[in-house]
Structure 1
Amino acid sequence: MNTELLEALNILEKEKDISKETLLDAIENSLLNACKNHFGKADNIKVIMDRETCDYKLFAEKTVVEEVEDDLEQISLEKAREIDSTFELGDIVQIPIESKSFGRIATQNAKNLILQKIREEERKVVYDQYFEKEKDIVTGIVQRYVGKNISINLGKADAMLTENEQVKGEVFKPTERIKLYVVEVKNTTKGPKILVSRTHPELVKRLFESEVTEVKDGTVEIKSIAREAGSRTKIAVWSNDPDVDPVGACVGMNGARVNTIVNELRGEKIDIINWSDNPAILIENALSPAKVISVMADPDEKAASVIVPDYQLSLAIGKEGQNARLAARLTGYKIDIKSETQAIESGELPENYMELSEGVYEEEMYEDGFDGEYAEEYPEDYADGTEEIEFTEAED
């Protein structure tokens, strides 16, 4: 038994996760290559290796002839009968080859072949490991800044968080642990190239899957996500179980679940709304926290006209149009938002509408408007001097 070789293969299999069978094949190929370098060719060389003991033997198969023309492939009848008297002309004789007789160059080439195979298999193992994590989240350790990019250690491989995939304003310190979304894994000659992101909308989805049991087991589905990384995300959720509140499941007790995700995203606000197959209801929910008077949705044109109270127009549009823009992305509809006054002027509401609705929203203005709890918590969502604006799903 070749104890030293067996132990070495077992250690490589355990540490590098490279199968022993692959390494044995590499050794066989390296021996054949060494024979070729030593003798000039190896067509008649055979390697016999015991997979259990790692013992191996090298043979040169030579044909018995009367007159030898090629020492590498032929043997005389006289010499063949010195080995075994039963040999006749045309028989094949197996002549043992001592690997110790190989020259230094042949031995070095064989060694390099084995090392190259080990490196290739090691890269392949790492690639396969991270390819399985493509479109999923991983935890990485910040190493250093490379220009405006960040080098991230993922364990057995490094990834580069490029400037385009970073959230504006986020600053990381070396050794800090962060969650990342694996966008793509490419196999290169230098090892796997892993593209990660902190801005991808799917990062939020995967974080909810890891934090919310109901999302992970499929009871609650995340139907749509719209995100402006570092600022706000809107997600629409749906429950397959009538006894499970999808929004409540995602928020958690006292907001514990969603707050964990918000902390991971460095304070990014997350709006969770109920999904509806009715586009009008979905659009109304998507414009939350703004109150909506009416929604006229055209499924064919993927366009909707929304009317909101005058005092809710700024909230519906949001700071720099963010709320309406995210709602458009979330629903896939082009949304035209108008106030009551604008709707009356355009004839979409009767001229006496304000009189008919007088007092209806007065209480709401104090509960949900400028003096409401939401306004106190997020005053930046109230834009100034807004007018009628259209937002499309594709608008940035």
Structure 2
Amino acid sequence: MNTELLEALNILEQEKDISKETLMDAIENSLISACKNHFGKADNIKVIMDRKTCDYSLFQEKTVVETVEDPVEEISLTNAKMMDPSYELGDIVQIPVESKSFGRIATQNAKNLILQKIREEERKVVYDQYFEKEKDIVTGIVQRYVGKNISINLGKADAMLTENEQVKGEVFQPTERIKLYVVEVKNTTKGPKILVSRTHPELVKRLFEAEVTEVKDGIVEIKSIAREAGSRTKIAVWSNDPDVDPVGACVGMNGARVGAVVNELRGEKIDIINWDENPALLIENALSPAKVISVAADPDEKTASVIVPDYQLSLAIGKEGQNARLAARLTGYKIDIKSETQAIESGELPANYMEMAMEEDYQEEEPAENYSGEEDYTSDDLDLYEE
């Protein structure tokens, strides 16, 4: 038994996760390569290796001939009979080859072949490991800034968080742990190239899957996500179980679940709304926290006209148009928002609409709303849950 070789292969298998079978194949190929360097050709070289003991034998197969023209592949009948009297012309003789007789160059080439195979297998193992994590989140450790990019250690491999995939305003310190979304994993000659992101909308979805059991189990579905990284995200959720409130499940007790996601995203606001097959209701929910008077949606043209109270117009549009922009991305509709006054002037509401609305307000004063599990949620309301 070749104890030293067997121990070396076991260590490599444990530390680098490279199978012994692959390493033994590499050793066989290196021996054939060494023979080629030593003899000039290796077509008639046979390697026999015991997979359990790591014992190996090298043979040079030569054909028995009357007159030897190629000493590498042929042997004379006289010499063959000296080895075994039963040999006749045309027989194949297996002549043992001592690997110790190889020259320095042949030995060095064989060694380099084995090392190259080990490096290739290392890269393949790492690539396979991270390819499985493509379109998922990983935890990385910040190493250093390389220009405007950030070098991230993911364990067995490094990734570069490029400037385009960073959230504006986020600053990380070396050794800090952060969560990243693996956009793509490419296999290169220098090892796997891993593209990670902090701005991808799917990062929010994966974070909710990690925090919300119902999302992970498929009871609650995240139907759509619209994100402006570092500022605000809107997600539309739907429950496959009528007894489970999707918004409440994502918010958690006292806002604990959504709070954990907000903390990981460094305070990014998150609006959670109910998904609805009716586009008008979906658009109304998407414009939350603004109140809506009416929605006229055209599913064919993917356009919608929305009317809101005068005092809700700025809230519906949002700062620099953010709320309306995110609602449009979330629903896939081009949304035109008008105030009551604008709608009356354009004839979309009757001229006496304001008087009718005031009468209704006097008849029934609307009570203050608290979260009941039925309303849409915005992370601006998080303070209410913490009281």
Q: Which whole-Å CA distance do the structure 2 matches of 1:190 and 1:335 have between them? A: 48
Give the Cα–Cα distance (whole angstroms) in 2 for the partners of residues 360 and 235 of structure 1: 33
Deviations 1:147-200 (A, max 9, x none): 000000000000000000000000000000000000000000000000000000
**Aligned pairs, number:** 372
Matched, 1:254 2:243: no
**SS of equivalent residue, structure 1 residue 357:** helix
Counterpart of 1:13 in structure 2: which amino acid? E
The residue type equivalent to 2:307 in the other structure is I
Deviation at 1:334, TM superposition (A): 0.3
The residue correspondences of 1:1-396 to structure 2 (distance < 5 A) are: 1-358=1-358, 360=360
1:392 corresponds to which residue? none
Cα distance in 2, alignment partners of residues 325 and 253 from structure 1: 30
Secondary structure class of the residue paired with 1:227: strand
In structure 2, distance between residues paired with 1:280 and 1:187: 46
How many angstroms apart in 1 are the aligned matches of 2:106 and 2:267? 62
CA distance, structure 1, for counterparts of residue 164 and residue 289 of structure 2:
30
Whether the aligned pair in 2 keeps the contact of 1:311 and 1:365 (CA below 8 Å) is no
Shift of 1:68: 1.2
Give the residue type in structure 2 aligned to 1:219. Answer: I
Structure 2 equivalent of residue 389 of structure 1? none
Give distance in 2, aligned partners of 1:217 and 1:51: 44
Counterparts of 2:366 and 2:199, CA distance in 1: 35
1:348-392 per-residue CA deviation (whole Å, 9 max, x = no partner) reads 000000011015458989958xxxxx99x68xxxxxxxxxxxxxx
Residue in 2 that maps onto 1:387: none
Q: Distance in 1 between matches of 2:187 and 2:360?
A: 63
CA, structure 1 residues 200+113, in 2 after alignment: closer, same or farther (shift >3 Å)?
same
1:74-108: CA deviation from partner (whole Å, max 9, x where unpaired):
11111111111111111110000000000000000
Cα distance in 2, alignment partners of residues 360 and 331 from structure 1: 31
Aligned partner of 2:252: which letter?
G
Q: Sort the Cα spacing of 1:124 and 1:149 in 2 relative to 1 into closer, same or farther, 3 A.
A: same
Query: What CA distance in whole angstroms lies between the structure 2 residues aligned with 1:43 and 1:279?
Result: 72
3-state SS of paired residue (1:151): strand
* Counterpart Cα distance in 2 of 1:364 and 1:324: 28
Structure 1: how far apart are the matches of 2:324 and 2:241?
Answer: 30
Bigger Cα displacement from structure 2, 71-80 vs 215-224: 71-80
For 1:163 and 1:99, the matched residues in 2 are separated by: 54
Which one-letter code corresponds to 2:266 in the other structure?
R
SS of aligned partner of 2:127: helix
> What is the Cα-based RMSD across aligned positions, in Å?
1.6
| Superposition deviation, residue 205 in structure 1 | 0.2
Sort the Cα spacing of 1:25 and 1:343 in 2 relative to 1 into closer, same or farther, 3 A. same
| Counterparts in 2 of 1:270 and 1:360: CA distance versus 1, 3 Å | farther
Distance 1:64 1:364, change over 3 A: farther
Residues 361 and 100 of structure 1: CA distance in aligned 2, closer, same or farther (over 3 Å): farther
2:372 aligns with none
When residues 361 and 160 of structure 1 are mapped into structure 2, their CA distance, relative to the original with a 3 A threshold, is farther
Give 3-state SS (helix, strand or coil) of 1:315's partner: helix
How far 1:272 sits from its partner (Å)?
0.3
Secondary structure of 2:159's partner? strand
Please state how far the C-alpha of 1:66 moved relative to its aligned partner: 1.5
TM-score, normalised via structure 2 length: 0.94
Cα distance change of structure 1 residues 367 and 59 upon mapping to structure 2, 3 Å threshold: same
Deviations 1:215-261 (A, max 9, x none): 00000000000000000000000000000000000000000000000
Consecutive unaligned residues in structure 1, runs of 5 or more: 369-373, 379-396
Letter matched to residue 288 of structure 2: S
Residues in 1 aligned to 2:365 and 2:349: alpha-carbon distance in whole angstroms: 20
* Secondary structure, counterpart of 1:150 in structure 2: strand
